[in-house]
Amino acid sequence: MTTRGIEQIKAAGIAFRRLDYEPLKDGVRYAAGVLDIPFHAVVKSLVFAADDGQFLFALMTGDGNVSTKKLARAIGRKRVQPASPHDAERVTGYRVGGISPLGSRRALPTVLDAHAADEPWLVINAGDRGVLVRLETADLIALIAPQIADIRVE
């Protein structure tokens, strides 16, 4: 099975490695353990809602958490909060556990944590539960054109 995310990567001619696993449990830690990849190289694709009603992606490594204050500041808003699962699914077209900026129904503004941007390669959801892709960080940045900012809780 292919996903919209994989189709986007292929259409851009970017090299990637597909990583499939049985999603028996939710979460980045579980996926990293099953696939035997470093936890800090797996990116969480989180959907947030800004105080003006705009939705956006925050991409954070598995070992980090998003600071809503830093994220709001990065996009020039007063407040952001995690989107409800319903809203996240509605705006991305993906189910929770398979949400990704790759192939999202709507192209949402995206902020990639600066620590993640420093990694040589990242693993990110490809648009379905249990389907991840590994690609060079520079290729991911070229593909989704995120804003890069320190949005990590210290």
Residue 35 lies inside a defined structural domain of this protein: yes
Nearest by Cα to 124 from 105, 141, 109, 106: 141
Residue 144 lies in a domain: yes
pLDDT for res 30: 92
The values of phi and psi at residue 139, to 5°, are: -70, -40
- Quickly list DSSP for 95-108: -TTS--STT-SS--
**pLDDT > 90: percent of the chain:** 94
Other CB atoms closer than 10 Å to residue 138's CB: what's the count? 12
CB-based contact 100:46 (threshold 8 Å): no
Give Cα 110 to chain centroid, integer Å.
9
154 lies in a domain?
no
Q: What confidence score (pLDDT) does residue 93 get?
A: 97
pLDDT of residue 26: 79
Q: What is the pLDDT of residues 80-102, one digit of tens each?
A: 999 999 999 999 999 999 999 99
Q: What proportions of the chain, in percent to the nearest 5, are helix, strand and coil?
A: 30, 30, 40
Give the whole-angstrom CA distance, residue 121 versus residue 123: 7
Number of domains in the chain: 1
For residues 99-121, average pLDDT: 96
- CATH number of the structural domain spanning residue 75: 3.90.960.10
* pLDDT tens column, 45-67: 999 999 999 999 999 999 999 99
How does pLDDT run across 27-44, given as a tens digit for each residue?
888 999 999 999 999 999
Domain that holds residue 144: 4-149
Q: Is residue 57 a part of any domain in this protein?
A: yes
Neighbours of 81 (CB within 10 A): 12
pLDDT for position 4: 97
